[in-house]
Structure formats: C-alpha cells, structure tokens
Amino acid sequence: MKRIINFIFAVLLSPVCLFAQGQGVTQCGTSTGQYPFPVQSYIELSDPSVPSSQQWSTMKQPCVSWGTTDVRYAKHKLPVLKVQKNISLTGWRGEKIHAQAVVWTGTDIDKLNYSFTEFKNGKGNIIPASAFSGGFVRYVMTDELNKDGRGACGSRPDHTIYDSLLVADGIDHLLEFIPMEKMSTRAVWVNCRIPQSAIPGLYKGTVEVKDGDKILSVLNMDIRVSSHTLPVPSEWTYHLDLWQNPFAVARYYQVPLWSQEHINAMRPLMKMLADAGQKVITAAIIHKPWNGQTHDYFESMVTWIRKVDGTWAFDYAVFDRWVEFMMSMGINKQINCYSMVPWELSFQYFDQASNSMQFVRTAPGESEYEEIWVAMLSSFSRHLREKDWFDICTIAMDERPMEVMQKTLKVIYKADSEFKVSLAGNFHKEIEKDLYDYCISIGQCFPEDVKVRRHTEGKWTTYYTSCAEAFPNTYTFSAPAEATWMSYYSAKNHLDGYLRWAYNSWPKEPLLDSRYKSFAAGDTYFVYPGARSSIRFEKLIEGIQDHEKITILRREFTVTGNKDGLKKIERLLSPFNLSSFPEIPAERTVNKAKRILNTL
C-alpha cells in the first residue's frame, strides 16, 4: 500500500503542476524552473489517508471553532473538538501571541477566508488590525522517526520504508482564500504582535471566518495585555542560531547566486528570521563545509585562488555581500565562519595555473594545512578588521577529535591570536576556555561553574538539537509544543539560547514534501518558500519569547530581591526534564509553566 502511495506521489511530483482553484492562478512546470517564483499558490499532495464517509456523514454544514496551537489537525479527519467560539490569550506588550481556528466541512467551500476586526478594551484603547496576521495552515508530506524510535539520523533513500502522511505545518499568508473539499479540515493560524505601546488591559475583538462574502462563523478573542514589556527581537538576549542556506534560495527561486534577484528572494525569509531573534550569520568560508549533506550544498563565500606563482589570494566580495545583506536585515551580532575542519578534509580553490577548480587534501597538524590556513586567516583577519567585523566574527568548528581541534586552534592563533572561536559539539573541558560561542547537544551538560564563569566572561553557552534526538525536536511530525519546550529547558539550565543546523535547507519541493534523502522529514528546514512560516517555527518563537521573559523576570526579581518570584520561576521550570519524553507530552508541561509565567 505504501508503495502504491509513493508511486502516486512520484506521478504527482514530476512534473509538478501548482495551482489553486478559485485563485485565477495556474502555474505549471517542472521543479527546475519553468514556473514563475515565488509560487503564490499550489496544490498540496494527495492525502494518503482517505476520509471516512461514515465518520463525516453527520457533518453537513461547515463548522468553525477555536482549536489549540498544540495540535496539527489532520486534513482527512473530523477534529476532536468541542466547538469553542471564545478564546482568551495573554501576552506581554511587544510579545507575539497566536491561536489556531479550525474549519471542517461536510460540503465544499469555494473561498474560505478570514478577517480581523480592531481589538478594543473597555476604555476605548485599541490594538489595531495591523497587529494581526494569519495564514491558512498547509499540509505537507512527512515521514516518521527511525524504526527504533530513538532518533532520525541516517540515510533514507527509499521513502516507502517509512510511513508517509500529510501533516499540518506551513502557515500560508500569501493566499486571500483557499477552497475546501467536503470531508476535510483546514486550520487558520492567527498571530497578534501586541504593540509595545499598548495600554495594559483586556482587549476584545473577533475573527470572521467566511466563504467568499458569506460569514461562516464569528470567533471571539480576548487578549489580556500585561504591563510587562518584551523588547524588540533584535534586543533579546536569547542567542538564536539557526543556520541559513542562501544556496537553497537561489536554487529554488532559479536566480543567479548573489544577484539582486537572489538578495530580493532572501529578504522576506531572512526578515522573518531576524524577527524571531536570530543573532548569528552563517558564513561558509570553504567549499562544502558539511560535505554537501543538504540538497543545496554550501559554497564558499570566500574566493580562494592559488596563483600561478604558488601564492594564495583571497577575495571577500561574496562574503561581504552576504554579511552586509544579513546585517541590513537586523542580524548583526555575530558571524560564524565554517569551517577549518570540515568533515571531508578537502579544500577547494581556483587554480590559476590549470584554470580549474582543484582540491587540496590536508589535515590539521600537517605543514600544508598550516601554510594554507595561516595564509587564509591572516588575510581574513585583515579584511574583518577593515570592515570592523573582527570582534563579532568566529572561526566555527564542528565536533572533531580533541587532538584535531587543538591543532586547529594553534593554527587559528598563529594567524591572529585574537580570533574568536565557536564550536557545536560535545563538551570538552580542555578547550572550553578557547570557545567564545560553545554549543553542546541537548543531552549533554555544561558544569555549573563553567556556565557561570562563561556568563561573566561574556561568552555564549547554548545547546542544539539535531537528528540525534527523537524528542524534543522540530520535525514536521513533532508535537508543536516541543519547539517551545526546548527554550524552557534552556531557561531551566541557564543557557543562553539554541542552535539548529537548518533554517531553510530545503529539499527539492519544500512546499509539497518535507522528506529528504537523509534524516526525518522537516529536519532540514523550519520555514517554507514565500517566507511562509510554520507551526513549528511559531512555537519555537513562543519558547524564545518565554525564555526572554524568564530572563527579564529573573533579572528584575534579583534586583528587587524578590526571592519568592525567583522561586516561582525555578518551580515552573522544574518539570522540564528530558527523561519525561515521550510519556509526558510537551504541551502539558509547557502550558502549565506558561500559565504560571504569565501571572508573574
């Protein structure tokens, strides 16, 4: 059966014909460039699960209700929901809060759409409609954890081995309306970024859900605005490091790398990342720093040229263009440069003598490695200092054997003893002091004294999740609240933030199919083309904001000597234990903590 379904997918995917009925837009072509980008509308893949006529038989009219943001409502199923027309949300001034409305129907809906009213409090103050945004939740193909349930690493060349299901994930803000077939469900995601200038109080408003002009339901929403204020994302202390992949954008949008079109295509995507509090620019200083593990490998942003006289020349025009663009997006706190110790110790360059791309294979400890890297880093250091970026730049390593990392550090310091260094890997006390930005796996621990010292030294101390973790994680099939849970866990452990290796390393057709030839589906990207957000990403932001709120409150309570408040924080954080997965769902822990946090 799975094989049949996958056969159907194959037919659907090649060539892809993307359109939305009722949109007046039909865009067809193969995935390699015939249709115009960005894709405004597209048809989701067919649901491998067929709706049960019996189950849906009682549903005649469309039904609309508030749901929860913790659930990915299945397309083919009647949602397990008692219809709720009212919802109450709480947030700080400056906080982005969200809710999810659910529509399910026994009859076809031509043009499902929604609109927000102005929100008012009793004194006539308002939250303007412009503070609200939303999107239709879109269905994407996903798979599942590895068969042993213990993670999602490894190669997956044959998708038929894994369960394939359509899940709600993307949030599509580009459509004005969407059609619904009878016996299907569609959620509407609602965001409200409470203005920092909002007067605290209780605001009331509605979301109208319609079929064309015909109102299907009016949903009421209360927003309780706290007197606390969350700073703008660029001022959050949370150290968010989701690795950006500009190469995926160029390929997907079929635009020349680093052209103005490329920059334009990246702008909304990277703005969305900046708005999530991203601090770090991901820069590739060599060809394939991760040996091409993504659908679109990372190309060097530094031009390496070996001249015919044997000397090296480096050019930073691409690097500068990338960094300057990202800084213009507001991501300007740090630049992490990958990598002196790639997984494949092979360094590509343009060889003037042979007029071709060549590789040199050399490893830390070898004289050729030192010769090349001291040349590169000395030049790079000069360039960074000219640009006044030296102090925010790190030479970034992935986990390598201790001896290799130590040899690498020696080479870095030989070129410039003031270079900052970052590492995402295991905890190693031997080199911890060398690491300005140190990120370890969520399953590992920094010693308490190390964290305290690092904090006073102004160093970043974070953790990451990857395919190694089954829970918590942010696959397209992960429970949405796991994305939030992680930041509570980080707050509990007094860590500065979170790193994930893939903000947008899109697979071939990211809108349709989140699966990839390796890892579980969604591992390689958080967000979708068209700068479409996702349930996972919005829930991640929720956690980041909560982490930031906790940081602010801790600071405030410490200053004011509010020991009771501090205790309450520790108490609300105490249930965040990795060992509670998968028995205790993330949303239970998160929502309980959140209720308390919002009373502080």
Interacting residues with a copy of itself (CB under 8 A)? 256-259, 287, 299-300, 303, 307-309, 315, 317-318, 321, 348, 350, 352-357
Nearer residue to a copy of itself within complex by CB, 137 or 284: 284
Give just the sign of the alpha carbon dihedral 472, 433, 419, 388.
positive
Answer yes or no: are the C-beta atoms of 525 and 273 closer than 8 Å: no
For 367, the token pair is 């004289």
Q: How far is the CB of 293 from a copy of itself (least distance, A)?
A: 18
Q: How far is the CB of 463 from a copy of itself (least distance, A)?
A: 32
For 72, the token pair is 């990915």
The residue among 395, 491, 412, 480 whose CA lies nearest residue 451 is 491
Q: How far is the CB of 352 from a copy of itself (least distance, A)?
A: 5
Answer yes or no: are the C-beta atoms of 496 and 333 closer than 8 Å: no
Q: How far is the CB of 256 from a copy of itself (least distance, A)?
A: 6
Nearer residue to a copy of itself within complex by CB, 302 or 553: 302
Quote the CA–CA distance of 538 and 526 in Å, as a whole number: 10
Residues near 53 by beta carbon (within 8 Å), at least 6 away in sequence:
183
Quote the CA–CA distance of 480 and 8 in Å, as a whole number: 28
Q: How far is the CB of 395 from a copy of itself (least distance, A)?
A: 19
Q: How far is the CB of 311 from a copy of itself (least distance, A)?
A: 10
Q: How far is the CB of 446 from a copy of itself (least distance, A)?
A: 37
Q: How far is the CB of 314 from a copy of itself (least distance, A)?
A: 12
Nearer residue to a copy of itself within complex by CB, 139 or 349: 349
Nearer residue to a copy of itself within complex by CB, 78 or 255: 255
Quote the CA–CA distance of 481 and 136 in Å, as a whole number: 19
Q: Letter for the amino acid at 443?
A: G
Nearer residue to a copy of itself within complex by CB, 163 or 315: 315
Q: How far is the CB of 325 from a copy of itself (least distance, A)?
A: 12
Nearer residue to a copy of itself within complex by CB, 25 or 257: 257
Residue 477 φ/ψ, nearest 5 degrees: -105, 0
Q: How far is the CB of 269 from a copy of itself (least distance, A)?
A: 19
Nearer residue to a copy of itself within complex by CB, 104 or 373: 373
Nearer residue to a copy of itself within complex by CB, 299 or 548: 299
User: What SS3 class is residue 10?
Assistant: helix
Q: In what order do the strands lie in the sheet with 303-306?
A: 312-315, 303-306, 346-351, 356-361
Quote the CA–CA distance of 271 and 330 in Å, as a whole number: 8
* DSSP one-letter string for 414-460: HH-TT-EEEEEE---TTTGGG-SEEEEETTS---HHHHHHHHHTT-E
Q: Are strands 25-29 and 497-500 parallel, antiparallel or unpaired?
A: unpaired
Distance, CA of 123 to chain centre? 39
Nearer residue to a copy of itself within complex by CB, 309 or 388: 309
DSSP-assigned letter for residue 344:
S
Quote the CA–CA distance of 432 and 422 in Å, as a whole number: 10
Nearer residue to a copy of itself within complex by CB, 322 or 488: 322
Nearer residue to a copy of itself within complex by CB, 293 or 300: 300
For 341, the token pair is 């110790």
Q: In what order do the strands lie in the sheet with 280-284?
A: 239-242, 497-500, 460-464, 437-441, 420-425, 393-398, 334-338, 280-284
Q: How far is the CB of 274 from a copy of itself (least distance, A)?
A: 23
Quote the CA–CA distance of 147 and 446 in Å, as a whole number: 31
